[in-house]
């Protein structure tokens, strides 16, 4: 092909891609109010592009990228007060971490029952189906957290693991992790904490002096933690981690690996891009604990502002926000979501608890909320919610 034809073909493809891209919602518009992800920081984007060709499934080819992965894990292990025996595994996000953790619990115990809260993320449905495991779903208290007395009653000789959530998908609620940790310790049970969202929020809320429930390896009964950098970590998608109290638990999910330059490979995926890992490292290093603390402070201030504005128009919130997630009680949440979508706002429908969810991520600012509230009020009035 001549240079001109190559140039034209490239332009045509890029234009086609742009046409599709313009159909997407964007975080920069500020109109995405229901996602737990946000726009990756510019430094994360740049780092991602730099490591596009790397493959962490074959780490001996990319020892430098492997070092970056270890540095990301070191930060996360330090953030969660992990002991020196601990290890981590980088994954694509909360779903993969939860699957990997339950895979480990199943292999270690040889058992198949998992005790989860009613508010557990739907990844646990996938786990049950994929690994032929049975879910025992525990009702919540009026504070939308796991009822510990019901957890005790649900334990059977077949229990492989108990799961608590530190920052529920629906409302950002934190289960009684310290009590669950004590219980699991007494009963010698594997205890997984799903902090996919809260893992990058709770440590910084603590630094800001908020009274927030402990969730990490500080508690001796906590066996593993899911934590996602592509949510409040402001890294690029996909980047999560499964953190394990004992590094030898990785052996439970390792297989002998032919045709790549390492002998054993742990986890679900084979080929894995180093791009998101480099992006996560860049933003972790750039922001540091101080930067994340400021980000969480900003999100919490906007959350409390939003809560107040919601109450002012006469709507009810599901619970006082523990983190930057707000549920708004409604009789017909689906209708409200549809009407808001027509006005260009993306919020989530929580049918299960008759509400809608707003997540105050870093791209959601007070001026955005000032535009959103009148639209919310209008659609609620039209639909008889107000
Ligand atoms: C608590 C929790 N766990 C797991 C997940 C799944 O994460 P991902 O969509 O990154 O797989 C989510 C997603 O929002 C979540 O909120």
Kindly tell me if the per-residue pLDDT of 63 is higher than 80.
Answer: yes
Kindly tell me if the per-residue pLDDT of 3 is higher than 90.
Answer: no
pLDDT, tens digit, 9 for 90 and up, residues 294-322: 999 999 999 999 999 999 999 999 999 99
Place of tokens 């140039």: 7
Please choose from 99, 123, 146 the residue to mutate so as to test ligand 1's pocket, defined by most ligand atoms within 8 A of CB.
123
For position 162, what pLDDT does the model report? Answer: 98
Domain termination site, one of 237, 253, 284: 284
For position 367, what pLDDT does the model report? Answer: 97
Kindly tell me if the per-residue pLDDT of 6 is higher than 90.
Answer: no
For position 326, what pLDDT does the model report? Answer: 98
Kindly tell me if the per-residue pLDDT of 4 is higher than 90.
Answer: no
Atom of ligand 1 nearest to the CA of 95: 11
* Contact present, 149 and 128 (Cβ < 8 Å): no
Kindly tell me if the per-residue pLDDT of 1 is higher than 80.
Answer: no
Residue nearest to atom 5 of ligand 1 (CA): 94
First-to-last C-alpha distance (Å) of the chain: 64
Structural domain includes residue 385: no
Omega of the bond leading into 238 within 30 degrees of 0 (cis): yes
Residues 91 and 234 in one domain: yes
Residues 293 and 280 in one domain: no
Q: How far is the CA of 71 from the centre of ligand 1 (A)?
A: 23
Residues 280 and 325 in one domain: no
What is the percent of the chain with per-residue pLDDT over 70, rounded to a whole number? 100
Q: How far is the CA of 212 from the centre of ligand 1 (A)?
A: 20
The set of protein residues with a Cβ atom below 6 angstroms from ligand 1 is 36, 93-95, 98, 121, 123, 165, 167, 169, 194, 196-197, 228, 240
**pLDDT band for position 261 (cuts 50, 70, 90):** confident
Residues 170 and 224 in one domain: yes
Atom of ligand 1 nearest to the CA of 93: 10
Rounded to two decimals, the pTM is 0.97
* CA-based nearest residue to 175, from 160, 194, 153: 194
Domain range holding 371? 3-39+289-376
pLDDT, tens digit, 9 for 90 and up, residues 108-153: 999 999 999 999 999 999 999 999 999 999 999 999 999 999 999 9
Atom of ligand 1 nearest to the CA of 198: 1
Residues 201 and 78 in one domain: yes
What is the percent of the chain with per-residue pLDDT over 90, rounded to a whole number? 96
Question: What share of residues in the chain are helix, strand, coil (percent, to 5)?
Answer: 45, 15, 35
**pLDDT band for position 349 (cuts 50, 70, 90):** very high
Query: What CATH number is associated with residue 11?
Result: 3.90.1150.10
Number of domains in the chain: 2
């Amino acid at each position: 092909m001549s240079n001109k034809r190559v140039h034209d073909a490239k332009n045509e493809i890029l234009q086609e891609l742009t046409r599709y891209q313009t159909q997407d919602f964007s975080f920069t518009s500020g109109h995405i109010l229901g996602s737990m992800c946000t726009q990756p920081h510019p430094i994360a984007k740049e780092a991602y592009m730099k490591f596009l060709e790397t493959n962490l499934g074959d780490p001996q080819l990319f020892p430098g990228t492997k070092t970056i992965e270890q540095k990301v894990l070191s930060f996360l292990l330090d953030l969660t007060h992990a002991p020196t025996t601990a290890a981590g595994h980088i994954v694509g996000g909360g779903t993969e971490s939860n699957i990997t953790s339950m895979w480990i619990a199943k292999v270690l115990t040889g058992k198949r029952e998992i005790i989860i809260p009613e508010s557990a993320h739907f990844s646990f449905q996938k786990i049950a189906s994929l690994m032929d495991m049975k879910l025992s779903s525990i009702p919540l208290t009026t504070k939308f957290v796991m009822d510990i007395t019901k957890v005790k009653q649900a334990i059977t000789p077949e229990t492989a693991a108990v799961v608590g959530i530190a920052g529920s998908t629906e409302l950002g609620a934190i289960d009684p992790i310290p009590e669950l940790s004590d219980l699991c310790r007494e009963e010698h049970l594997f205890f997984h904490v799903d902090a996919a969202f809260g893992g990058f929020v709770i440590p910084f809320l603590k630094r800001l002096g908020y009274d927030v429930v402990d969730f990490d390896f500080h508690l001796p009964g906590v066996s593993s933690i899911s934590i996602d950098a592509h949510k409040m970590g402001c890294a690029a998608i996909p980047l999560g981690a499964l953190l394990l109290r004992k590094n030898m638990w990785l052996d439970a999910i390792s297989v002998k690996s032919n045709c790549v330059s390492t002998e054993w490979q742990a986890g679900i995926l084979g080929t894995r891009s180093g791009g998101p890992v480099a992006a996560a490292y860049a933003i972790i290093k750039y922001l540091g604990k101080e930067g994340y603390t400021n980000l969480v402070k900003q999100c919490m201030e906007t959350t409390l502002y939003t809560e107040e504005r919601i109450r002012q128009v006469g709507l009810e919130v599901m619970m006082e926000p523990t983190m930057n997630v707000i549920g708004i009680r409604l009789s017909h949440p689906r209708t409200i979501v549809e009407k808001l979508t027509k006005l260009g706002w993306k919020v989530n429908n929580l049918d299960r608890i008759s509400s809608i969810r707003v997540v105050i991520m870093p791209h959601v600012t007070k001026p955005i909320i000032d535009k959103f509230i009148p639209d919310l009020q209008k659609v609620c009035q039209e639909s008889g919610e107000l």
